[in-house]
């Protein structure tokens, strides 16, 4: 009986740790309809919005490979963003076309489908161009790790700043409440009533801010778990 309890405790601990360190992203081999044909692709989901992912994709390829991605910018935001007639040496020294479809996914997430071709109709896949397809997955892993590391850091920093702002508001309201309470003792009944109403309003603001701080703190904890799960796959 003791051994059984020990086994159950260990199993629960392993399961709990696995949940805490679950992979933040997962790359799957899939297919996408493009130009009325099914094309092999690599697919991954992110917590960020499609526009955020597209902008990061453009920045990454421009910085890392000197490749300019078209379809995302100040006046354009296409579903499929492209880089045509480019050289991506880690994949091949031949000229290629690169595509990324980034769309909304359930749960305020985005789904990126990454695919490439030699010329017009020779699309890279796990069967016809296995080595090149593997190289594409490495690139997608590289992008995912860098993008998610930066994204979650930025989100956590934004939330931390918001918490500090709310804490400052609470502190200022508390000072005003204390000042009004002290002043009310020396004023007429009518003035004291008005000051009390102001205090009630500020206390309600404080309660709302405290709830928001609690929500943000939980969100930051969730981000920390996701940061720990940014691992290549």
Same domain, 146 and 165: no
Query: What pLDDT sits at residue 73?
Result: 82
Secondary structure (H, E, C), 175-225: HHHHHHHHHHCCCCHHHHHHHHHHHHHHHHHHHHHHHHHHHHHHHHHHHHH
**Residue 90 belongs to some domain of the structure:** yes
**Residue 112 belongs to some domain of the structure:** yes
* Domain endpoint, select from 150, 182, 216: 150
Our count of domains for the chain comes to: 2
Residue 115 has pLDDT above 70, yes or no: yes
Are 213 and 167 in contact by the 8 Å Cβ rule? The answer is yes
Same domain, 146 and 110: yes
Confidence of residue 198 (pLDDT cuts 50, 70, 90): very high
Distances (CA, A) of 113 to 39, 67, 120, 137: 10, 18, 18, 11
Same domain, 205 and 218: yes
Same domain, 161 and 221: yes
**Residue 101 belongs to some domain of the structure:** yes
**Residue 102 belongs to some domain of the structure:** yes
Same domain, 139 and 158: no
Same domain, 99 and 183: no
Report, as an integer, the average pLDDT of 28-52: 96
Same domain, 61 and 75: yes
Same domain, 120 and 224: no
State which residues form the domain around 92: 24-150
Reading the block at residue 41, the tokens are: 């692709």
**Residue 208 belongs to some domain of the structure:** yes
Same domain, 120 and 210: no
**Residue 173 belongs to some domain of the structure:** yes
* Domain endpoint, select from 150, 180, 205: 150
- Please count the other Cβ atoms lying within 10 Å of the Cβ belonging to residue 179: 12
Report, as an integer, the average pLDDT of 184-197: 92
pLDDT single digits (tens) 42-100: 999 999 999 999 999 999 999 999 999 999 987 788 999 999 999 999 999 999 999 99
Confidence of residue 207 (pLDDT cuts 50, 70, 90): very high
Residue 8 has pLDDT above 70, yes or no: no
Residue in the structure block whose two tokens are 């789904």: 111
- What percent of the chain is predicted at pLDDT more than 70? 91
CATH code where residue 62 lies:
3.30.530
Same domain, 102 and 168: no
* Domain endpoint, select from 93, 115, 150: 150
C-alpha of 48 from chain center: 4
What mean pLDDT is reported for the chain? Answer: 90
**Residue 11 belongs to some domain of the structure:** no
* Number of residues assigned to the chain: 233
Query: What pLDDT sits at residue 5?
Result: 41
**Poorest-pLDDT segment among 6-20, 52-66, 125-139:** 6-20
Confidence of residue 21 (pLDDT cuts 50, 70, 90): low
């Amino acid at each position: 009986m003791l051994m059984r309890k020990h086994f159950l405790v260990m199993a629960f601990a392993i399961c709990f740790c696995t949940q805490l360190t679950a992979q933040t992203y997962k790359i799957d081999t899939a297919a996408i309809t493009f130009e009325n044909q099914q094309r092999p692709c690599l697919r991954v989901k992110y917590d960020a919005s499609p526009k955020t992912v597209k902008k990061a994709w453009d920045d990454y390829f421009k910085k890392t490979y000197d490749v300019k991605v078209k379809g995302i910018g100040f006046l354009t935001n296409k579903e499929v963003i492209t880089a045509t007639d480019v050289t991506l040496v880690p994949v091949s020294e031949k000229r290629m076309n690169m595509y990324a479809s980034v769309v909304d996914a359930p749960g305020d997430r985005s789904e990126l489908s990454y695919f490439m071709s030699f010329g017009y109709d020779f699309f890279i896949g796990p069967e016809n161009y296995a080595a090149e397809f593997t190289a594409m997955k490495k690139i997608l892993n590289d992008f995912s790790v860098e993008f998610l590391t930066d994204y979650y850091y930025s989100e956590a920093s934004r939330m931390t700043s918001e918490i500090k702002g709310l804490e400052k508001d609470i502190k200022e309201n508390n000072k005003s409440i204390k000042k009004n309470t002290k002043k009310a003792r020396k004023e007429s009944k009518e003035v004291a009533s008005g000051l009390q109403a102001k205090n009630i309003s500020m206390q309600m603001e404080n309660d709302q801010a405290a709830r928001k701080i609690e929500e943000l703190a939980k969100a930051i904890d969730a981000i920390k778990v996701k940061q720990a799960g940014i691992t290549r796959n």
